[in-house]
Amino acid sequence: MVKDREHHERLFKASMNPIRRKIIATIGLKGKTREDLKKELDLTDFQLKFNIDWLIKEGFVKEENGELILTEEGLELLK
């Protein structure tokens, strides 16, 4: 897969935000529910929704059966 400039910019933007880095690390390889993330990271509803929505829109996280899991790009960010 060829990585283009836009891809690298999205990775950079995600990695520069400390809340997004913590969300990615907490979801990890197993996945988490929104409620688990909120409790474990002590986030407000707004912080959680804003950052999860961004991570989903940018393709780092997807939601399946009520659980947030990392996409291939999310796993790349986790490394």
> What is the domain partition of the chain in residue ranges?
5-78
What's the predicted TM-score (pTM) here?
A: 0.87
CA triple 55-65-38, angle to 5 deg: 50
11 close to 77: Cβ distance less than 8 angstroms: yes
Between CA 20 and CA 14 the distance in angstroms is: 6
Q: pLDDT per position in the chain (79 positions), as tens?
A: 446 888 788 887 888 889 999 999 999 999 999 999 999 999 999 999 999 999 999 999 999 999 999 999 999 888 8
CA 40 to chain centre: 14
Give me the CATH topology for the region 5-78: Arc Repressor Mutant, subunit A (1.10.10)
Q: Which of these, 9, 5, 4, lies nearest to 77 by C-alpha position?
A: 9
